[in-house]
Amino acid sequence: MPAPATPREVHAQLLDRISAGKWTEVPELYADDAVVEIVFAPTPPRRVQGREELRQRFAALAASDEIRLRAENLRVHGTDDPEVVIAEFDYVGLYPATGRTFRTANIQVLRARDGLIVETRDYHDHLAFAVAGDRADQLLAAVNQQG
């Protein structure tokens, strides 16, 4: 039986699947009780818990073909904790509905155990996503409603 994938390998698999648009395969990289914190999300949810909730979110992306992403300029840093890696990368994105493209920097802190993601803290530029998706006004209205 092969050894489980390392955190670095799991992160590479994650970005490979996202870049290939294999949204329905992404949840299989997560543990059943995984926690994803979307730290800079301007609106809820800022925390997604469990593979099933992740499966629903990624299935919605797959069904909508709303966005296409490709990861570039990846730099992965090890930490003192063998389960944790910190990844810096750019997303080059396309919103097919608008034809707009964008590039945005990202940081992800990922914890993997036994070859599965158990926790991430994701730092994405949500304003860049919203502007390119022609949803900046919606984003601003939602943020204003939160008070």
Average pLDDT over residues 111-136: 90
Q: What CATH architecture is 7-146?
A: Roll (3.10)
What are the tokens at 86?
A: 């910190």
What are the tokens at 27?
A: 């949840």
The reported pLDDT for the residue numbered 26 is 97
The reported pLDDT for the residue numbered 138 is 82
CA-based nearest residue to 19, from 127, 91, 109: 91
Whole-model pTM: value is 0.91
The span from the CA of 143 to the CA of 147, in Å, is: 7
Write out the H or E segment, with its range, that includes residue 57: helix 51-64
The span from the CA of 91 to the CA of 94, in Å, is: 10
Confidence category of residue 25, pLDDT binned at 50, 70, 90: very high
Average pLDDT over residues 54-77: 94
Inter-residue contact 105 to 21 (CB < 8 Å): no
Average pLDDT over residues 30-48: 94
- The gap from C-alpha 63 to its chain's centroid, in whole angstroms, comes to 17
Would you mind telling me the total number of residues written for the chain in this entry? 147
> Backbone phi, then psi, for 116, in 5-degree steps?
-125, 150
CA-based nearest residue to 135, from 103, 95, 104: 95
The reported pLDDT for the residue numbered 78 is 97
